[in-house]
A and B are shown apart, each in its own frame.
Chain A
Amino acid sequence: MRAKRTIKLTVNGRHYERSVEVRKTLADFLRDDLDLTGTHLGCEHGVCGACTILVNGDAVRSCLMLAVQADGASLMTVEDLAQGEELHPLQRAFQENHALQCGFCTPGFLMTAYAFLKEVQAPTVEQVREAISGNICRCTGYSPIVQAILDASRG
């Protein structure tokens, strides 16, 4: 027997009502139930940061929340950054700085940086490094990512 609950939530400005298994993580719910596969799952235990999304404005690991816990919440995922074909300034800065190779970690970095820049408008290099310390990239190296976030913060 699998326990289920009905939840209502807003994701990227759109309302959803779905019945979910209580054991389903929020990350899996976004990917499997809402087809929002931009949120990536790396380690699934809160270490890599790839699944970072915004819940009620705060950056969190979506692999460490249950979907049922998002009942009534407002979520933002990486799909909401670009406006149509128009990339978000952060995405453009990532592209211009070659801040990604395989791109697996990128959604988590983007959402982390997005939340960070909402709070710190003119960050120092050290602040940027600390902000992304909870996100792991295994191919690019971090310097281009740091540079991209700095560029985006300068507009």
Chain B
Amino acid sequence: MKPANFDYFAPTSLVEALALLEQHGDEAKILAGGQSLMPLMNMRLARPKVVIDINRLSELACISPGPDGGLAMGALTRQRVVERSGLVYERVPLLAAAMPSIGHFQIRNRGTVGGSIVHADPAAELPALSLALDGEFVLVSARSQRTIKAEDFFVTYLTTAIEPVEVLTEIRIPTWGMEWGWGFQEVCRREGDFALVGAVALLKLDGDQVCESARIVIFGVGGRPVRVQGAEELLMGRRVDGRALEEAARVVSNSLEPHSDIHASAQYRKEVGGVLARRALEEALRREKRLP
């Protein structure tokens, strides 16, 4: 249970880090908070020849207001910092409320926002949240810079659209105004563990309880978090009552194609996915109505 030997670099600027990555390509791994990479290295499931430790790039460790009023989070921002940020609480309360569900506080003290997103565990919260919140990611290499939407970023298990020479530098989340209700639900064996299944819902109603817009994302049910547009469309233009929610939950459950593993069966995940979608929507509805 010790990492295999590797060469270690701790660049002090992004330019230096990108040059190293350009030089070593897919033989190198970026080490940020280490809460996903270090276990893999300890168990030798990952044996990078080169480790590029970006923890000294303090330029990537801040949260600022986004250009459009949302949030711009440096990829190296610790999850614990996001959890406690007044700016996050004010601008994207769903994100602030969901942060404590990520790992345990000792994990969040080290774990970074960018690290969790790039690691892309399908049961992790941040990929699902960034997808539900319509986030986008800034990917930088020595030669180029591009911005990619969360919905185009996650490919499958631990696999994203990032190139071996690219570093995720920033996560941008647009503003979700007060008119949006939101809900976050997950089921796990132990507080702080990876979710067996989780659901994120965002809901916007008009004065007559008619749904103007909805977003529903389920995670832990396949290779990547999934947006269930069928259920979103079912709600759109409809009065959101118990029956509508029940129907939406059924659409969610039917649309999922989860797998079985030692933690839960596919059938369980399918069932729970629908139930959690309903609960997340109910939670969103309560918030939308400003109920406690």
Q: Are A133 and B5 in contact (CB under 8 A)?
A: no
Q: Are A23 and B5 in contact (CB under 8 A)?
A: yes
What residue of chain A has the Cβ atom nearest to residue B191's Cβ? A133
Q: Are B106 and A60 in contact (CB under 8 A)?
A: yes
Q: Are B42 and A45 in contact (CB under 8 A)?
A: yes
Chain B residues whose C-beta falls within 8 Å of the C-beta of A150 in the assembled complex: none
Tally chain A residues at the interface, Cβ within 8 Å: 33
Q: Are B39 and A68 in contact (CB under 8 A)?
A: no
Q: Which of A23, A68, A130, A133 has the most CB of B within 10 A?
A: A23
The contact size tier of chain B is 20 to 34
Chain A residues whose C-beta falls within 8 Å of the C-beta of B1 in the assembled complex: 44-45
B286 CB to nearest chain A CB (Å): 21
- Interface flags, A20-39, vs B, CB<8A=1, else 0: 01111100100000000000
A49 within 8 A of B: yes
Q: Which chain A residues (51-104) contact chain B, with CB distance < 8 Å?
A: 52, 58-61, 63-66, 68-69
A57 CB to nearest chain B CB (Å): 10
What residue of chain A has the Cβ atom nearest to residue B53's Cβ? A69
B4 within 8 A of A: yes
Q: Are A3 and B7 in contact (CB under 8 A)?
A: yes
Q: Are A112 and B42 in contact (CB under 8 A)?
A: no
Q: Which chain B residues (1-41) contact chain A, with CB distance < 8 Å?
A: 1-8, 10, 31, 34-35, 38-39
CA distance A112 to B53 in the complex (A): 26
Determine which of B6, B7, B39, B191 lies in contact with A46 in the assembled complex, contact meaning CB atoms within 8 Å: B39
Q: Are A23 and B107 in contact (CB under 8 A)?
A: no
Q: Are B42 and A25 in contact (CB under 8 A)?
A: yes
CA distance A115 to B105 in the complex (A): 10
Q: Are B42 and A3 in contact (CB under 8 A)?
A: no
Determine which of A22, A59, A131 lies in contact with B51 in the assembled complex, contact meaning CB atoms within 8 Å: A22
Q: Are A49 and B104 in contact (CB under 8 A)?
A: yes
Known contacts A3-B8, A133-B191; A61 and B107 CB within 8 A of each other: yes
A154 CB to nearest chain B CB (Å): 22
Q: Are B8 and A28 in contact (CB under 8 A)?
A: no
A sample of 28 cross-chain residue pairs with beta-carbon separation below 8 angstroms, ordered by A number, consists of A3-B8, A5-B8, A21-B5, A22-B6, A22-B7, A22-B51, A23-B2, A23-B3, A23-B6, A25-B3, A44-B1, A44-B42, A45-B43, A49-B106, A59-B106, A60-B109, A61-B106, A63-B42, A64-B35, A64-B38, A64-B42, A66-B31, A66-B53, A68-B10, A69-B55, A133-B104, A134-B106, A134-B107
Add 15 more A-B contacts to A58-B109, A69-B55 (CB < 8 A): A3-B6, A22-B8, A22-B51, A24-B2, A44-B43, A59-B106, A59-B109, A61-B35, A64-B39, A65-B38, A112-B106, A116-B105, A129-B191, A130-B192, A134-B103
Q: Give A residues with C-beta under 8 Å from B.
A: 1-3, 5, 21-25, 28, 44-46, 49, 52, 58-61, 63-66, 68-69, 112, 115-116, 129-131, 133-134
